[in-house]
Each structure stands twice: as structure tokens, then as C-alpha cells.
A and B are shown apart, each in its own frame.
Chain A
Amino acid sequence: MIWLMIFSMAAIVFISRHLLLEPKLPLRLSKGTQTFLSYSAPAVLTAIFAPIVFVQEGTLDLSLENSYLICAVVATVLALVTRNTLLTTVLSMGLFFVIH
């Protein structure tokens, strides 16, 4: 059962990554589509991290008790000020493990 899950998940993930790289797929990207796609990374990544930060145990948590939220704000400020990915992740994660 676990192996079946692993291989079928792997197939789904690989197909989703590879399918549109295939030149035989007769797909042309219009200017509009390309513009739309330029927003994909910020939109998708935000949709993944936002619930981790704002939702604790199934409910919205905007309190100062929410160490995820505090450290996420710190990470955002660090990213803006330093523009350094490594510094941002390491410092905000360090702070998180101290206060969590």
C-alpha cells in the first residue's frame, strides 16, 4: 500500500512537472498566458506558506502568542532589508526555535 502510494504519487508529480516541457505537445503560449504565468510563483508559494503562518490548530491566530506569525513578519522585514535569502531564512528560523 505504501509503495503503491509512493509510485503513484511520484507519477503524478513527475507528469505535472514534465508534461508541458514536451515539445510534441502542440501548445503555444499567448502573451496573455505568459503574463498570467509570471504571477504563478508568488501566488503559489504564498498560498502554501500563509496557512502555516496564520492558522494554528484550525483557527486564525493573529495574537502575539503565535510565534509563526511573529517570525514570519521578522522574515519579511529581513528579506526586504537584506535581500539575502540565506540570512533571512537562517535568522528567522533561529528566532523561531528560540521563542517557539
Chain B
Amino acid sequence: MTTDKPIEPDVYPAHPTKAKAFLKGTIAMMPLTIAVVPWGILAGSFAIEVGLTPIESQAMSAIIFAGAAQLVALGMVKAGIGLWSILITTLLITSRHLLYAMAMRSQISPLPLKWRLTLGFLLTDELFAIANQGKLHKFDPWYALGGGLSFYIGWNIATLLGIVAGNAIENLGELGLDFAIAATFIALVVPTVKKPSILVCVLVSLSLAVVCAAFEIQAGLLIAAIAGMTAGVLYAKITKEDERKILNPLANSQTETDAHSERKADATTQPEGKI
């Protein structure tokens, strides 16, 4: 991509060199790039199983670059469902990126078009997790590019492995490669639970997503996510979570400790406590 693209040197003074920031982003993303390998293998092998050619299977990862949408779409192709339904479902699954883009807007929209297009294309759940560090950290596009591009390459290599394996190994689907999705997202979500309102948000989203999945409600992901976000905001408002923080800086760390222990308590009682 545009790693050698010239850019005003005085605009992003946070890092001494672009290469350093790029490398830093690559390293920050590394755990997620490794974790996405089983998932990529699943995407490649499943595409072959559904009946796509190796080129088409690779093109899904190279051009669409959206794991959840790819896997769901492949499942629908396998079930013989038509293109329009696949596209509407894709729209539902991918709509979360609208939220990510909105959250990143203040940081990315002032950049030149090439940067916007590139980072827009690379804006995955994982890139959002490492690049959207809030206002405390200065946003560096080279850092984001390093994270996003290395993740893109990792995803495509893993897909290729899956295509090769899918041609060679029977019943790859029964290995449970989809657990990789769960493990990755749990590792991403747990550290974000820094205050009680986020815990509320996660629990509401989790419960509704499970209920919707059990009842095969197609829009479950959207319903659960929006309800979870709303619940988090309302909880923060009712308990005046943020005001406490402003009034007393010490309360901030106290709140974090609370969320931490609550989450832990929750984890140990997860099977019973959820539904």
C-alpha cells in the first residue's frame, strides 16, 4: 500500500519516524494477527467446502476483508439462499463499522483522501481495538497502518492455508475453529470493562445475543449491540458514574477496581448467572 507516501513531517510529531510508528502498530497488533490465523483457516477451508474455487475463496478475504460477514455469507451460499438476502445480512453484520468509523472520525477525517481510503478499508474490529485509544493518546496514522496492514496480510495468509488444507483434509469444520473468534473477542472485550456501566453493556448485549441466536432472529447482532450500548449509557446516567470521576479523581481508580472484581465474580458464575 502507501508506506512510502510522502506526508508533511511536522503534522505528526508524536513519533520520530514513520517506520517506527508503523512497526509499533504491527507489534501492537501481533497478538490479534496470530489469533486470527485459525479463523482465517476456517474462512478459507469453508469457502472450498461450499464450492468456491481457490481464487474466489482467496478473493473473499482479499477484497471483502470481513471475517464474520464472510463466514455468514458462505453459510448462506451453502444453504442455497439468494444474493439479496446475503447482502442484507452483510449490511446488518457490517453496520458496526459505521459505529467504529464514527468513533474514529475526529482522528481520521482530517487526513488526506489516500489515508482515509486506506484506513477505511483496513478498519476492522481488531484495528479499532488497538487504534482507538481515546483522547489521552495521540492518533498516529502510521501506527494504524502498521496494525491494519499486518493484520490484512496475516488474514490472507491464513485464508490461503485454509484453502490448501480445505483441499487436503476432510471435516475441517468439526475442529471447532470458530472458537478462535470467541477467544479473540473475549481477549478484546475484557480489558475494556473498566467501569460498571461497561459491564452492564456487555451483560445486556451477551444475554440478548444468545436469546436472539436461540430463536434464530437474523437481526440479533444489531438488537443485542444497540440494546447493550443503550443500557450502558443509561446505567452511567442513573448512577452518575462520570460525575463521580470528575468530582474525585480517586473515585476513578475505585470504580475500576469495582468493575474488575465484579467481572471476575461474573466469570466464575457464568454458566448459571447469565440467562
Contact = CB atoms under 8 A, between A and B. Distances in A.
B35 interface: yes
Given A48-B181, A89-B183, A10 B97 contact: no
Looking at chain A's contact residues, is the secondary structure mostly helix, strand, loop, or mixed? helix
Contact of A6 (B59, B105, B125): B59
Given A5-B83, A58-B214, A100-B175, A27 B187 contact: no
B53 to A, nearest CB: 8
B220 interface: yes
Interface in B230-264: 230, 232-233, 236, 260, 263-264
B117 to A, nearest CB: 7
B215 to A, nearest CB: 9
Given A6-B63, A17-B100, A40 B38 contact: no
Contacts of A14: 120-121
A85 B188 contact: yes
Contacts of B91: 12, 16
Contacts of B56: 2-3, 6
Interface string A1-19: 1111111111011101111
B202 A43 contact: yes
B101 A43 contact: no
B164 interface: no
Contacts of A79: 186-187, 190-191
A80 B214 contact: no
Contacts of A93: 35, 38, 179-180, 183
Contacts of B167: none
B172 interface: no
Interface stretch (B7-15, B66-74, B155-163): B66-74
A6 B272 CA distance: 41
A52 to B, nearest CB: 5
Interface size class of A (residues with CB under 8 A): 35 or more
Nearest to B50: A2
A86 to B, nearest CB: 3
A21 B83 contact: no
B182 A75 contact: yes
Contact of A35 (B206, B220, B233): B233
Given A37-B103, A39-B228, A45-B125, A96 B120 contact: no
Nearest to B264: A80
A63 B198 CA distance: 27
Find the residue from A38, A62, A67, A68 having the highest chain B CB count within 10 A. A38
Interface in B175-211: 175-176, 178-193, 197-198, 201-202, 205-210
B95 A5 contact: no
Contacts of B68: 48
Given A20-B102, A29-B106, 14 more contacts: A21-B108, A23-B110, A37-B102, A40-B96, A40-B100, A42-B201, A43-B224, A43-B225, A48-B68, A51-B209, A59-B214, A80-B263, A85-B191, A100-B175
17 contacts: A9-B70, A10-B65, A12-B87, A13-B65, A13-B69, A27-B102, A29-B105, A43-B201, A47-B228, A48-B68, A50-B213, A60-B275, A68-B176, A71-B182, A73-B267, A77-B267, A92-B183
